[in-house]
Amino acid sequence: MALPATATHPDTVREGRSFLDHLKDSGAFGIGQILVKLTSLITLPVLIKTLGEHDYGRLATVNAASGLLVWVVLWSLPSATVRFLAGVQDRTHVARVHSCAVLVIVGSTAFWLGILSAGLSVWGADALGVPLLPYLAMLLSTFTALVSLFMTSYRIRDENRRYVSVDMAFTVLNAIVLVTAVLYWQELTALLIALVGFKAVRSIWLTVQFTRHFGFAAPDWEGFKPFWTFSLPLLFPQAMAWMTNLSDRLIIGIYHSQEVVGIYAANYNLSILVNHLTAAVFFAFTPTFSRLWSAGDTNQFGSLAVRSANAMLAVGLPVVVAISCLSPLVMSLLATGAVAQASLWIVPFVAVGLLLNAFAGYGGEVMMLNRLTGRIVLQSAVGAGTNLILNIILVPVYPLAGAAIATLLSFGVLFGTSIVLSRAAFRLRFDLGFALKVVISAAFMTFCFELVSANLWHRALIAPIAGATYVGSLYVLSGMPTLADMRAKLETT
């Protein structure tokens, strides 16, 4: 069954889902992602205080190196299955596609394992210390890719709440395994072995659940062609996305010690909270974007894109302000003094950059739906090239702030390039008036934090007031709409 080259199966176009329905799904996923990130942050003190900053840096380096496979596979195959299989009733076809995808993941692992082993033998053998680490990291990446692939089956069936509950349950179990392994063995290799085993169990469980619903079918490479033609052009852009997001750890490791890598990676992990929140919007809206484009309803597509972008900004910017102002306190509780002291040089820049990267996703979505492969490649290359050049210039002199500033500027360039290049297919018109209101409200919120002394606990106590100030300011600037007016807008399709 060959699917249309630019969109989902024609039977998947559905009417009647309101903006509020999408926000509910986004909210459920967003809450789940917050809990996921909080679970990850809770494990941070166990990792960094037990292993030490040096070993934590080694772990970050290994994850960054092996993450190339994750970025390429996670963003290509699952991205294609969500767009092409959403709502498809032919279970055998879905099973055949996933069989093909599993074989591609296994083949990719073998390919990248050779590259990773060769690269680390030249660059990272002394830094990492243990030859087994890259192999364990690659296995971990492989099972992560398989988990991501089979988790998309819930989104294909529009079981978004089920997706969140399963993801949250396994995240808690993963944290338990991680903490137990670190406290019991207190050694990095043992930790990775435990994580590989857990990911393997999770991928097997998801495979069983998938097979129970869709059954098992042999690979159908003819039916897989639309997915392959969609995913293959994304390999280079996703490699560039990896370079933009993770290569800074490798560059810091080249010029400085693994301890510096650990300090940077720990603070970067706090900033990733922004990514988890903005991902919630795309989680709920991406299948609908594809359906609307498939149906030729570009007006509704544009309207939904603007409204979802408004929601993303309204939630994302105050989170950026909050974690930036509170980062020294959070890191002093979760990590070490060195990590906390460096937080203000890292977290604000990275957090703003990640928010800009989220908005770049809208331009990227337009280009993917229109199969503008060359423009996607150009956008990715510009962002990655900017990041690489800035890191090479700044990191040798300013290892922490330099990498963070390089991240911010490269994501800013990526956002601008994405919007400009996507105009050939569709002109995105963001609501600049609403954006200005959000920025002003966030400025009032920042002012609240700055009113109190530099005492970190005073800032923590003022946080609820700062949040209320943001909400109140945005409400007033928006014309103080009634609850009935707001609900009417949310319930429109």
Contacts for 272-275 with beta carbons within 8 Å, 24 or more apart? 272/37, 272/354, 273/34, 273/37, 273/319, 273/323, 273/351, 274/316, 274/319, 274/320, 274/323, 274/351, 274/354, 274/355, 274/358, 275/354, 275/357, 275/358
The pLDDT of residue 20 is 52
Find the domain containing 402 and state its range.
Answer: 14-430
The pLDDT of residue 383 is 87
Separation between Cα atoms, residue 69 and residue 73, nearest integer Å: 6
> Side-chain half-sphere of 424: how many Cα atoms within 13 Å?
14
Separation between Cα atoms, residue 34 and residue 210, nearest integer Å: 26
* In a domain? residue 462: no
DSSP 64-122: HHHHHHHHHHHHHHHHHHHHHHTT---HHHHHHHHHHHHHHHHHHHHHHHHHHHHHHHH
Domain tally, the chain = 1
Please give the chain's pLDDT, 493 residues, in tens.
333 333 333 333 344 455 555 555 555 555 655 666 566 656 666 677 777 777 778 777 777 766 666 666 555 666 666 666 656 677 887 888 888 888 888 887 777 777 666 665 555 444 444 467 767 877 887 888 888 888 888 877 767 778 778 888 888 888 888 888 877 887 777 888 888 899 899 999 999 998 988 888 888 777 777 776 666 666 677 777 777 777 788 889 888 888 898 889 888 888 888 887 777 777 666 667 777 777 777 787 777 788 888 888 988 899 999 999 888 888 888 788 888 889 999 999 999 999 998 888 888 878 877 777 778 888 888 888 899 999 999 999 999 999 999 999 999 999 999 888 888 777 878 888 889 999 999 999 998 888 876 666 777 788 889 889 998 998 888 877 766 665 555 555 5
The pLDDT of residue 283 is 67
Amino acid sitting at position 346:
I
The pLDDT of residue 351 is 93
DSSP 390-444: HHHHHTTTSHHHHHHHHHHHHHHHHHHHHHHHHTTT------HHHHHHHHHHHHH
* In a domain? residue 168: yes
The pLDDT of residue 346 is 93
Going by C-alpha positions, the residue among 382, 267, 358, 228 that lies closest to residue 305 is 358
461 token code pair? 């106590």
CA 381 distance to own-chain centroid: 19
> Side-chain half-sphere of 230: how many Cα atoms within 13 Å?
30
* In a domain? residue 311: yes
Contact 283, 26 (CB under 8 A): yes
Separation between Cα atoms, residue 36 and residue 24, nearest integer Å: 18
Contact 284, 272 (CB under 8 A): no
